[in-house]
Structure 1
Amino acid sequence: MKVFWALGKVLTCLFWLVVLVNVLDPFIKPLHLLVNLAGALLLLVHLLELVLCNASLKGRARPWRDRLQILFVGIFHLQTIPAPAVPEAPHA
């Protein structure tokens, strides 16, 4: 599963590279608008993930680094964060 999450991170970074190249040197007429729209939508989704998962990052060692990675690769970073340990409830 780690390979899947790492591959997702790499592909997402490649997509952001395509968006950056498109901003610096726009592609042909209809394609540059679609790439910009896809980049804006992905940024919106990653911001939503960041807002929804912000509370769970407060106990982490470097929460700002985690927030930055969520902003870039989204769910692919969230899935690599280990779940917090839940203490055992005493049984009656």
Structure 2
Amino acid sequence: MAESETEETLLEFPCRFPIKAMGKAESGLETAVIEIVSRHAPGFDDAQISTRPSRGGKWIAVTVVIEAHSKPQLDAIYQELTAHELVVWAL
């Protein structure tokens, strides 16, 4: 790993990494998140997807755990998630 890459992140790749996105519950957010993550982390385990509604049921959080291979890969996922109209925030 190049020195500049080590300075940018404390993560050691490859590693298991959770990605969470939140949006309105009725919006189809889960499908959108799965499509985006699949483009950047093909073959991730479907068993690593979880959804959790907010207490009032208006919002939903979708979490996908992937095997991350690089910071640019994670950056690309977050960039696409945050640009998507159904995603209110990504963490």
Task: Give the shorter-chain TM-score range.
Answer: under 0.3
**Higher strand proportion:** 2
| Structure index of larger Rg | 1
Whose RCO is larger (CA < 8 A, sep 6+)? 2
Scaled by the length of structure 2, the TM-score of the pair is: 0.27
**Higher helix proportion:** 1
Scaled by the length of structure 1, the TM-score of the pair is: 0.27
